[in-house]
């Protein structure tokens, strides 16, 4: 595949292919790219996990990373994202990883001759987060068909919710949402449920970060009110099945989306998700660079 932009674009087989490649990388050790390549990470939104995870993946693959800082780039002079990317392509960068606050920022970039991996676009899509979530679930269960997955929290503003709703439904899981009324949005016909009605029957409890930065004034709950109404409390945790797992894309607002003592509880896979993120991103980078190389060979 040339680009990895949205989970809606990936077929079931393509998703599983990336997951299996990531598992091989995790189990068999590091696998570098056969040739030297230079990549650039363009992060127009703050990030710890995604940016550092991509950088670690790139280093493990033996890639050169061209430093790029948005606050010192010509974007500050009014340069368009397309022109910035075209400049990087022109000087020899062979792949771009981009996070941007604008939904579908990548549409004008599809004409580039180098691949783009979406590191998150506004409240739209976050494909590599979804892929690492899928890998974590697959490691636990080995299948998706019939699994009950509850995604609870700020659905309206969550690219994670959209990406996982698309992908997990495609893979055969039964996905449910839980959210306050003002943070609900209809996505892929996913039903909304009361968390307390399903807590004892779900296989995956996925909490979402409350995205206060995307809310209009007056929309936010107090921390305690949200935690009691929609978070994973100790009482709800005790009702989970023994085989159930707890997930969160992080950063975690402790005591809000999840009780602070449950972040590293036996059922939690939050830090496993972060670990898997490196291998998923290695697999994604290999996929797009190999596609670019195959395309070049075809033209020779």
Gap between the Cα atoms of 71 and 155, Å rounded: 30
User: β-strands 116-121, 95-100: how paired?
Assistant: parallel
Contact 230, 153 (CB under 8 A): yes
Q: Which residues face 43 on adjacent strands?
A: 99
State yes or no: 99 annotated in a binding site.
yes
State yes or no: 209 annotated in a binding site.
yes
Which residue, among 131, 49, 50, has the nearest Cα to 97 in the 3D structure? 50
178 phi and psi angles, rounded to 5 deg: -140, 130
Gap between the Cα atoms of 81 and 75, Å rounded: 7
Gap between the Cα atoms of 7 and 128, Å rounded: 9
Tokens found for residue 264: 């590293």
State yes or no: 49 annotated in a binding site.
yes
Exposure of 159 by Cβ count < 10 A (0-12 exposed, 13-18 middle, 19+ buried)? buried
State yes or no: 77 annotated in a binding site.
yes
Which residue, among 151, 175, 137, 131, has the nearest Cα to 269 in the 3D structure? 137
State yes or no: 250 annotated in a binding site.
yes
Q: Which residues are annotated as a binding site?
A: 49-50, 77, 99, 126, 129, 159, 209, 250-251
Binding site for L-aspartate: which residues? 77, 159, 209
The annotation places the binding site for carbamoyl phosphate at: 49-50, 99, 126, 129, 250-251
């Amino acid at each position: 595949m040339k680009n990895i932009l949205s989970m809606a674009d990936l077929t079931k087989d393509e998703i599983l292919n990336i997951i299996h490649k990531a598992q091989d990388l995790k189990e068999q050790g590091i696998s570098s790219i056969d040739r030297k390549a230079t990549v650039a990470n363009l992060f127009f939104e703050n990030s710890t996990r995604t940016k550092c995870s991509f950088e670690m993946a790139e280093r493990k693959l033996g890639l050169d990373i061209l430093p790029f800082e948005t606050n010192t780039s010509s974007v500050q002079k009014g340069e368009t994202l397309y022109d910035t990317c075209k400049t990087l392509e022109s000087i020899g960068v062979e792949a771009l990883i981009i996070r941007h606050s604008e939904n579908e920022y990548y549409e004008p970039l599809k004409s580039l001759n180098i691949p783009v991996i979406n590191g998150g676009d506004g409240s739209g899509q976050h494909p590599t987060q979804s892929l690492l979530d899928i890998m974590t679930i697959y490691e636990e269960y080995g299948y998706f068909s019939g699994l009950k997955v509850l995604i609870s929290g700020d659905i309206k503003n969550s690219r994670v919710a959209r990406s996982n709703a698309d992908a997990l439904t495609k893979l055969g899981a039964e996905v449910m949402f839980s959210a306050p009324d003002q943070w609900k949005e209809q996505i892929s016909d996913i039903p909304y449920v009361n968390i307390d009605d399903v807590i004892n029957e779900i296989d995956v409890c996925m909490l979402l970060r409350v995205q206060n930065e995307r809310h209009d004034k007056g929309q936010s709950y107090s921390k305690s009110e949200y935690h009691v109404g929609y978070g994973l409390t100790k009482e709800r945790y005790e009702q989970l099945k023994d085989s159930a797992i707890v997930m969160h894309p992080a950063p975690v607002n402790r005591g809000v989306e999840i009780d602070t003592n449950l972040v590293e509880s036996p059922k939690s896979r939050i830090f496993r998700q972060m670990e898997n993120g490196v291998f998923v991103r290695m697999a994604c980078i290999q996929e797009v660079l190999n596609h670019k190389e195959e395309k070049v060979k075809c033209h020779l």
